[in-house]
């Protein structure tokens, strides 16, 4: 007896695992519609990270780079005030007087002590002449020189070894006088006139002579 045949269908049955897609949606195939929807979603998510939107406004701002505080007078405009120019010279003289006193108080003997005594005498004369020209104790340049003096005096005073002190002292004198010559040439003398300018030019000769003598002593390496 023959088995009953099933009625024939138009076309083979689709496999069970294959998805069914409606043919169109408003004239667009559903597969293409799904692709376009996914693309639009990705674009909208990417737009959220653009600068200036709500997300970026609520995000914490990056920390600013640290800045270094400037020392008053170090990078400022050179002074042209005669009283402050004389004040800078007076403050420099006071520095050399103070650091030379450390050598004298330590009872160090020899050529270095003789130099320290001579240096003090010269700078006391310079200080008196500067004060006679109404040297100011105010101003950025004066304050900078005073701060430098304070640092040098503290450093030398704390040195316990006599030999180390002698080397540190003469090195400081060489450095100070070299810096003073540069400042006189580049800033102070060009800004001065008349009696003040003549005074500065005389001071420069004295400082240059002491600078050379200090360099000779420094080469001895106490």
Q: What is the pLDDT of residues 36-87, one digit of tens each?
A: 555 554 445 444 444 444 444 444 444 433 332 232 334 456 778 999 999 9
Say how many C-beta atoms besides its own lie within 10 A of residue 115's C-beta: 20
In the chain, the domains with their CATH numbers are 82-218 (1.20.1260.10)
pLDDT confidence of 201, banded at 50, 70, 90?
Answer: very high
Token code pair at residue 56: 């970026």
Q: Please say whether the dihedral angle defined by the alpha carbons of residues 7, 10, 14 and 20, taken in this order, is positive or negative.
A: negative
Range picked from 8-17, 69-78, 87-96, 144-153 for highest mean pLDDT: 87-96
Token code pair at residue 159: 């040195």
Nearest to 135 by CA among 98, 101, 190, 92: 92
Secondary structure of residue 108 in the 3-state scheme: coil
Token code pair at residue 71: 């020392």
10-14, 165-169, 179-183: which range is least confident on average?
10-14
H-only helix segments in 106-161: 111-132, 140-157
Give the mean pLDDT of 90-95: 97
For residues 11 and 97, which has the higher predicted lDDT (pLDDT)? 97
Measured between alpha carbons, how far is 197 from 91 in angstroms, rounded to an integer?
A: 17
- CB of 73 closer than 8 Å to CB of 110: no
- CB of 142 closer than 8 Å to CB of 72: no
pTM for the structure as a whole: 0.65
Reported as half-sphere exposure (CB side, CA atoms, 13 A), residue 100 has a value of 24
């Amino acid at each position: 007896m023959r088995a009953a045949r099933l009625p024939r269908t138009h076309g083979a049955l689709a496999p069970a695992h294959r998805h069914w897609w409606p043919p169109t949606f408003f004239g667009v195939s559903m597969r293409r519609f799904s692709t376009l929807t996914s693309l639009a979603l990705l674009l909208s998510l990417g737009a959220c990270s653009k600068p200036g939107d709500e997300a970026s406004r609520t995000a914490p701002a990056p920390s600013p780079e640290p800045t270094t505080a400037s020392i008053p007078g170090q990078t400022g405009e050179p002074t042209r005030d005669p009283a402050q120019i004389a004040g800078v010279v007076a403050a420099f003289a006071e520095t050399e007087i103070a650091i030379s006193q450390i050598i004298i108080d330590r009872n160090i003997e020899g050529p270095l002590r003789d130099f320290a005594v001579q240096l003090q005498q010269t700078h006391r004369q310079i200080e008196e002449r500067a004060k006679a020209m109404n040297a100011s104790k105010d101003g950025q340049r004066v304050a900078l020189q005073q701060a430098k003096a304070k640092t040098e005096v503290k450093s030398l005073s704390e040195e316990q070894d006599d030999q180390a002190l002698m080397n540190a002292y003469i090195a400081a004198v060489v450095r100070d006088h070299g810096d003073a010559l540069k400042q006189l040439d580049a800033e102070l003398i060009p800004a001065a006139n008349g009696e003040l300018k003549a005074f500065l030019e005389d001071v420069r000769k004295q400082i240059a002579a002491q600078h050379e003598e200090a360099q000779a002593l420094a080469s001895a390496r106490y």
